[in-house]
Amino acid sequence: MAKLAQTAGLTEVQQEILATVRTFVDKEIIPHASALEHEDTYPQDIVDGMKEMGLFGLTIPEEYGGLGESLLTYALVVEQIARGWMSVSGVINTHFIVAYMLMQHGTDEQKQKYLPKMATGEVRGSFSMSEPDLGSDVAAIKTRAVQDGDDFVIDGAKMWLTNGGTSNLTAVLVRTDEGKPKPHQNLTCFLVEKPTGYGEVAPGLTVPGKIAKMGYKGVDTTEMVFKGFRISGEQILGGKRGGGFVQMMDGVEVGRVNVAARACGIAIRAFELAVEYAQQRTTFGKPIAEHQAIAFKLAEMATKVEAAHLMMVNAARLKDSGQRNDVEAGMAKLLASEYCAEVTQEAFRIHGGYGYSKEYEIERLMREAPFLLIGEGTSEIQKTIISRGLLREYKIR
């Protein structure tokens, strides 16, 4: 058999990109990941390396200076990067989502202004829906923008911004009262330019320090507080008030394929660590891999890795072919993140007591995997999306 998580039908360009990224991950990420993660240090050298490889512009069209690659290429790159260290994939994910939202919904001026600089990594994107009181229930957003002449004034608090301190362009979803009957029709997405860093970074805009997290360290996750922050109406994504919810959900949909890809990457790495350790560790006179209980664990883990990879690839290919993929992306995200948690847990058990030591990589993976059950919509929210899609498709006449 071939190694796990192979993808049939890739172009030569895709294969080349993946080979380059795999080498980068093996040489530049895996050897440094655990130390950087334990110190909660931002992986600046790794990020610089990704910039050099053009990864910030991977999906941005060539006319704007990017590589113009597909969602599938992006997802497979993310899978490799997360295999090395999930936090590094977090650095490019929100950037990718904001670039996607600009490509799909931005005005020509907005595309011209931001995409070329996003392709080089000079402009780095983050996106913000969540607030202290809400995450799943996006339509309940309280942060408000009120029009004042040609400008808007934003007040409110945002929560959980990945790359909130290291980005300089944030897509922020806020309430603008449009007088529409449904709450989600009254939301607008603003493109907030800001300096990187922490504290009051612009008049009326504060990014307090990094939130201390259980895992997913190195990459910054922050709050963002608006107090009378003034922004031009020209910064509304697509120039269209009231369309923010649909624009953000479109971004989150591709984000879900990306989270599924991250889950695949962590699960692949957990399997690699387990299958190696199981052949080295002996108990009762033989390698533990020769005890059937452990061999069967490996078989189940590998089957889960393979299934998750196939669903993730399917969801990405559907989107690339121009079809709606909300249900498939939800299914891929649900299955891949749940399997990732299970595979990581089994790899941890195979390591016995050493799995609990910070010297072993599996300890880090154990703290990273749970985030994937939450980010870009929890498993319960994925099941809501999937079941709604099923009831639409299988509606009785």
Ligand X SMILES: Cc1cc2nc3c(=O)[nH]c(=O)nc-3n(C[C@H](O)[C@H](O)[C@H](O)COP(=O)(O)OP(=O)(O)OC[C@H]3O[C@@H](n4cnc5c(N)ncnc54)[C@H](O)[C@@H]3O)c2cc1C
Query: Per CB under 6 A, does 337 bind ligand X?
Result: no
Of residues 75-104, which lie at the interface with ligand X (CB under 6 A)? Answer: 94
Which lies closer to ligand X via its Cβ, residue 223 or residue 361?
223
Query: Per CB under 6 A, does 305 bind ligand X?
Result: no
Query: Per CB under 6 A, does 245 bind ligand X?
Result: no
Q: What x-and-dash track marks residues 221-240 binding ligand X by CB under 6 A?
A: x-------------------
Q: 376 catalytic, yes or no?
A: yes
Considering only 129, 141, 298, 366, the residue that binds ligand X (CB under 6 A) is 129
Burial letters 215-230, b for 16+ CB under 10 A, else e: bbbbbbbbbbbbeebe
Position of tokens 């299958």? Answer: 275
Task: Spell out the residues 6+ positions from residue 8 whose beta carbon is closer than 8 angstroms to its own.
Answer: none
Residues in the interface with ligand X (CB under 6 A) total 21
Which lies closer to ligand X via its Cβ, residue 259 or residue 298?
259
Which lies closer to ligand X via its Cβ, residue 346 or residue 376?
376
Considering only 130, 206, 235, 345, the residue that binds ligand X (CB under 6 A) is 130
Which lies closer to ligand X via its Cβ, residue 66 or residue 375?
375
Query: 260 and 315 in contact (C-beta within 8 Å)?
Result: yes
Considering only 24, 74, 190, 216, the residue that binds ligand X (CB under 6 A) is 216
Least separation in angstroms between CB 194 and ligand X: 15
Task: Spell out the residues 6+ positions from residue 186 whose beta carbon is closer than 8 angstroms to its own.
Answer: 175, 176, 177, 178, 179, 180, 242
Least separation in angstroms between CB 38 and ligand X: 17
Instruction: Count Cα neighbours of 81 within 13 Å in the Cβ-side half-sphere.
Output: 27
Position of tokens 């931001």? Answer: 114
> Alpha-carbon dihedral of residues 127, 129, 130, 132, nearest 10 degrees?
110
Which lies closer to ligand X via its Cβ, residue 130 or residue 345?
130
Least separation in angstroms between CB 396 and ligand X: 24
Distances in whole angstroms, Cα of residue 376 to Cα of each of 90, 268, 301, 351, 391: 12, 21, 24, 30, 22
Q: How many helices (H) and strands (E) does the chain have?
A: 11, 10
Backbone angles phi, psi at 317, to 5 degrees: -65, -35
| Binding-site ranges for ligand X (CB under 6 A) | 94, 127-130, 134-136, 160-162, 213, 216, 221, 371, 374-375, 377-378, 380-381
Tell me which residues are annotated as active site: 376
